[in-house]
Each structure stands twice: as C-alpha cells, then as structure tokens.
C-alpha cells in the first residue's frame, strides 16, 4: 500500500448483537455498543478506524476501547462524512 499501512479487517469482531444505531440518542448509542466488540489476534500498535459516517462517535469509542485493551497505542479515525451538528442523536464529540 502506498501509505505503508497494513490493511486488516479481522482484528475486531462484534461479539454482542446490537440494535441499529439509527434513531437512537447519543446515550442510547453508547449503551447499545458497550462491550459489543472484541479484538482477535494481535493488531499492530498503530491502527486506523475507517467509519463511513461519524454521528456521535459511539462506534469509534467502543472500537477504541477494545483496541486499547489489546495494547494498541495509537488510534487514528478516518471518516468519510460527519452528520450535521443538529442531528437528533447529537454531535460527535
């Protein structure tokens, strides 16, 4: 890869069923994703999370928690779009 980044889509898996995030408040989104992800294997110390739409940041936060528990020391977040600040779920923090 030109960026020198290892592409991996199998280091994190969803281990808890969750309801769709659409329509949930920020607090409900956080509760919905609490303990939803686990790390498999040994990811590199530096990872990037690619999120299609950043609304409240709940998904990124839950993924980051799991990755930090697996000794990932640097986490970047790359997002394609961010929801409007007046989105009903609240802005990303």
Domain ranges of the chain: 12-82
Of 92, 86, 31, 84, which Cα lies nearest the Cα of 60?
A: 92
**Average pLDDT in the 10-23 region?**
92
- Does residue 93 carry a pLDDT above 60? no
Of 40, 66, 46, 51, which Cα lies nearest the Cα of 5?
A: 46
Query: Rounded distance, CA 27 to CA 57, Å?
Result: 11
The HSE-up count of residue 83 (CA atoms within 13 Å, CB side) is 19
**What is the value of pTM for the model shown?**
0.83
**Average pLDDT in the 37-54 region?**
92
Tell me 29's DSSP state.
H
Identify the residue with better confidence: 4 or 49. Answer: 49
Backbone angles phi, psi at 66, to 5 degrees: -65, -40
């Amino acid at each position: 890869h030109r960026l020198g980044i290892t592409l991996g889509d199998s280091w994190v898996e969803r281990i808890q069923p969750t309801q769709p995030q659409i329509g949930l408040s920020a607090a409900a989104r956080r509760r919905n994703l609490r303990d939803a992800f686990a790390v498999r294997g040994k990811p590199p110390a530096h990872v990037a999370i690619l999120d299609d739409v950043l609304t409240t940041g709940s998904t990124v936060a839950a993924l980051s928690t799991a990755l930090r528990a697996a000794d990932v020391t640097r986490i970047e977040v790359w997002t394609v779009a961010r929801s409007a600040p007046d989105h009903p779920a609240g802005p990303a923090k």
